[in-house]
Structure 1
Amino acid sequence: MVTGKNQDLEDDPLSAEEDVMDSEDEIVPETEKIDEGMEESNRENSKSEITVENMGQGLYNIVINEEAKKELWKPWWRSLIVKIMGRKVGYVTMKRRIENMWGRLGELDVIDLGNDYYLVKFYAQEDLDAALVDGPWKIYDHYLTVRLWEPNFNLFTTTIDKITAWIRLPGLPIELYNEKILRKIGDLIERTCKIDYNTSHLCRGKFVRLCVEIDLTKPLLGRYMVNENVYQVEYDGIHQICFTCSKADHEQKHCAIWREKMRKTMRNKLRILKLEDNNNKELQQE
Structure 2
Amino acid sequence: MREDDLDDEVPEDDDDPLCPTIAYTALEKQRWRREWRSALIVKVLGRTFPFPVIARRLETLWAKCGTIQVSSLSFSFYVVRFTSQIDYEQAAAGGPWMINDFYITVRPWRRNFNTKHAEVASIMVWARFPGLPREFINKEAVERIAEKIGKPIRVDRATQSGDRGRYARVSIKIDLTKPLLSKFKIEGITYYVEYEGLHRICTE
| Same fold flag (TM > 0.5) | yes
Q: Counterpart in 2 of 1:62?
A: 22
The correspondence for 1:168, drawn from 128, 148, 156, is: 128
Deviation of 1:209 after TM superposition, in Å, equals 0.3
Q: SS where residue 64 of structure 1 aligns?
A: coil
Contact 2:139 2:159 in 1 (8 A): no
Q: Which residue of 1 aligns with 2:165?
A: 205
Which residue of 1 is the match for residue 91 of structure 2? Answer: 131
Query: Separation in 1 of the partners of 2:161 and 2:101?
Result: 26
- C-alpha displacement at 1:180, in angstroms? 2.4
The TM-score, its normalising length taken from structure 1, stands at: 0.65
More helix by share: 1
| 1:192 equivalent in alignment to 2:152 | yes
CA distance in 1, matches of 2:167, 2:10: 58
Q: CA deviation at 1:57?
A: 3.8
Residues 53, 60 of structure 1: 8 Å contact kept = no
The 1-side partners of 2:16 and 2:148 are apart by 54
Helix, strand or coil at the partner of 1:75: helix
| 1:158 match: secondary structure | coil
Return the match for 1:215 from 159, 166, 175: 175
Decide which of 106, 126, 131 is 1:146's aligned counterpart.
106
* 1:134 positional shift: 2.3
Q: State the structure with more CA Rg.
A: 1
Q: 1-side partners of 2:197 and 2:77: how far apart?
A: 20
C-alpha separation in 2, matches of 1:175 and 1:56? 69
CA distance in 2, matches of 1:142, 1:92: 16
Identity of aligned residues (%): 34
Cα RMSD after superposing both structures: 1.8
TM-superposed CA distance for 1:83, in Å, is: 0.3
Shift of 1:122: 0.3
For structure 2, which runs of at least 5 residues remain unmatched after alignment? 1-8
Q: TM-score, normalised by structure 2?
A: 0.90
Given that 1:53 and 1:63 are in contact with CA atoms closer than 8 Å, whether structure 2 keeps it comes out as no
**Alpha carbons 2:62, 2:87 under 8 Å: kept:** yes
Alignment of 1:89 with 2:49, yes or no, is: yes
Q: Which amino acid aligns with 1:108?
A: I
Larger relative contact order (C-alpha < 8 A, sep ≥ 6)?
2
